[in-house]
Chains A and B, each alone.
Chain A
Amino acid sequence: MQIDAINITGETEDVDLVKRCQGGDSKAYNELVTRYRGKVYAMIYNMVRNEQDAWDLAQDGFVKAWKSIANFRGQSAFYTWLYRIMTNVTIDWLRKKQIQGGTEFDDSLELNHVEPGSATMPKAELLPDEKMEHAEIRKRIDTALEKLSPEHRAVIVMKEMDGLQYNEIADALGCSLGTVMSRLFYARKKLQTLLRDVYENI
């Protein structure tokens, strides 16, 4: 009889579920999926801004994780490992979409002449009377994020929406801390040019 470690919330520890998965127990994997599907789906959605694409990519990511779970050595938390897989799946998809669709992410915008501390855009005029509707704001955010490259979109989403630290972002993206901070700088600049009128008027 197998006795799994139970944490204070009464759940089996990830590490025990992972061990069972490594032995081919798909029910254990189903439990892990249930545990993280919401976070994974949200993370992917924040990057792709489309529910159906986020659903499909989350499925693909979980299948990929199942196929690789034998290689998981427990050197990081399971979710960190899973997050890395999901990030790679999503960024790869965004890159393919960029190539197939001919979308050009204009990251070069102002990169060479960003004045330190300069305002990115003149202050927009206030909207008459009413604030923007939530749906409209959401659409503006979607449109603005779509204009960022996959790499810049990833750092913004991880930092601002998922609340990750620089080192966690670097780990997920497989790049240096300096690269993360530099990408954040330019991604913020670009988003500020695109969303300034929104965040100043709500």
Chain B
Amino acid sequence: MKTFEEKFTAWVDGELKGRELAEFEAELPRALEARLEKVAARQMGELLREHGRAPELTNADFFNHQLMQRVESESARHAAARPRRKFAWSLPRLAMAGAFSLLAAFGLYHTLVQPVPPPEQKNIVEVISTGSGDIQSKIVSFPQYDVNVVYINEGKASALPATKHPTPEKRKDK
């Protein structure tokens, strides 16, 4: 939808045609004044074209000479500032570089840094004398688990009661 200003400009410049032109002219609030305005706008256009035109470019050859000096100097400056070669880090190149770096790091690690095997974890056994010939005791340490286990072998002189389980024969079944 054109505004009044847009339609008026198109009307002054003779760009409104057909139905659009008829509608606009019918809607003009003060048709006579509007037509005078149109004439005035055209007169002003003619005035600008006739009297406002630019003078000829004087010293045209010098214009080129001065300009081309600037162009040459600009080109030289640009060439000096330009990097010799621009390396484009495309995605495949980045991936390749990453993979190569990982491989190199892995190889270096295995070549230069010898893995030190962990010290052998031995169980430490300490025999404790009990003073009795039949009873033997010992402490076995498991440092890797931070656990000490005490073994006591009472032999035949055990004072602990034997566990007795009722035999099936002694049951009284009703």
Of B46-54, B93-101, B130-138, B139-147, the segment with at least 4 beta carbons within 8 Å of chain A is B46-54
Contacting residues, chain B, for A59 (C-beta < 8 A): 63, 66-67, 70
- Scan residues 59-102 of chain A and give those whose CB is less than 8 A from a CB of chain B: 59, 62-63, 66-67
Main secondary structure of the interface of B (DSSP, over half): helix
A129 part of interface (Cβ distance < 8 Å): no
A198 part of interface (Cβ distance < 8 Å): yes
A119 part of interface (Cβ distance < 8 Å): yes
CB distance from A46 to the nearest CB of B (A): 5
Main secondary structure of the interface of A (DSSP, over half): helix
Number of interface residues of A (CB under 8 A): 54
Q: A202 to B46, alpha carbons, bound, how many Å?
A: 11
A173 part of interface (Cβ distance < 8 Å): no
Q: A145 to B57, alpha carbons, bound, how many Å?
A: 21
Residue in A33, A117, A138, A184 whose beta carbon sits within 8 Å of that of B34 in the complex: A117
- Interface core residue of A29, A38, A116, A159 (most chain B CB under 10 Å): A116
Which 8 pairs between the two chains have the least Cβ-Cβ distance?
Answer: A117-B34, A45-B54, A42-B54, A185-B5, A181-B6, A117-B33, A181-B9, A199-B47
Enumerate chain B interface residues (CB-CB to A < 8 A). 2-6, 8-10, 12-13, 15, 28-37, 40-41, 43-49, 51-58, 60, 63-64, 66-68, 70-72, 74-75, 78
